[in-house]
Amino acid sequence: QVQLQESGPGLVKPSETLSLTCTVSGYSISSGYYWGWIRQPPGEGLEWIGNIYRSGTTYYNTSLKSRVTISVDTSKNQLSLKLSSVTAADTAVFYCARFNWNVDFWGQGILITVSS
Amino acid sequence: QSALTQPPSASGSPGQSVTISCTGTSSDVGGYNYVSWFQQHPGKAPKVMIYEVSKRPSGVPDRFSGSKSGNTASLTVSGLQAEDEADYYCSSFAGNSKVVFGGGTKLTVL
């Protein structure tokens, strides 16, 4: 069974860069599928952030593209998310996910709060 | 990418059926048979209930069904049960590995 586990600091200061890691177990990222990130502000809906393939090819939500970097480390079976110049509006639960045309496996999510 | 349009709320009594709609465009819902529905209980991660418009993952009750007509997808929950009360989100593949979500529908079991 594919399992995804997000990790990172729970609190980030405004204007800084948010960095998250997702560790995948039960499936090798290098075997295929797209992997990516989704976020959900408190009390709000889901927003796709972006995806990455094992080759490193990335696709980003146009609204976040200028601030987002997604990378993959196949040796550690991990993917990472960096979101720069964060503001309070970036406070959200961040989920990593596997994409098989659409999401088929979700991580449990991690709450990231942007505050000084 | 624009969000898909869902009604903010839906409700039904135990045993009844309820249908939630999800309207997109020919660039997402209408263009691909990769619409999924997710159930989310408070404080929990979303759970896949329907994928590829109408397929159910193992373990999802057959009370949940999905369909699509044109640019609108629908989720029907039959024989409503108390545990079905949750937020439901639709999602569609939108080309070039992009995914778009609906705004979510809060389902209340009366």
Q: Which two tokens stand for residue B110?
A: 């009366």
Q: Between these two residues, A54 and B73, which has the higher pLDDT value?
A: B73
How many interchain CB pairs under 8 A, A with B? 63
Cross-chain Cβ contact A59/B1 below 8 Å: no
Length of chain A: 116
Q: Mutating which of A1, A5, A37, A46 best tests the B interface, going by the most B Cβ atoms within 10 A?
A: A46
The pLDDT > 90 percentage for chain A reads 95
Count the alpha carbons within 13 Å of B84 in the hemisphere toward its beta carbon: 29
**Per-residue pLDDT reduced to its tens digit, B54-102:** 999 999 999 999 999 999 999 999 999 999 999 999 999 999 889 999 9
**Per-residue pLDDT reduced to its tens digit, B19-64:** 999 999 999 999 999 999 999 999 999 999 999 999 999 999 999 9
- Whose tokens are 């502000």? That residue is A41
User: Which residue, B5, B26, B13, is CA-closest to B91?
Assistant: B5
* Per-residue pLDDT, A55: 84
Cross-chain Cβ contact A61/B1 below 8 Å: yes
Cross-chain Cβ contact B100/A62 below 8 Å: no
* Per-residue pLDDT, B9: 97
Cross-chain Cβ contact A45/B98 below 8 Å: no
| Distance of alpha carbon B98 from alpha carbon B77, whole angstroms | 27
3-state secondary structure of A38: strand
| Distance of alpha carbon A56 from alpha carbon A68, whole angstroms | 14
Length of chain B: 110
3-state secondary structure of B76: strand
* Per-residue pLDDT, B2: 56
Q: Which two tokens stand for residue A94?
A: 């961040």
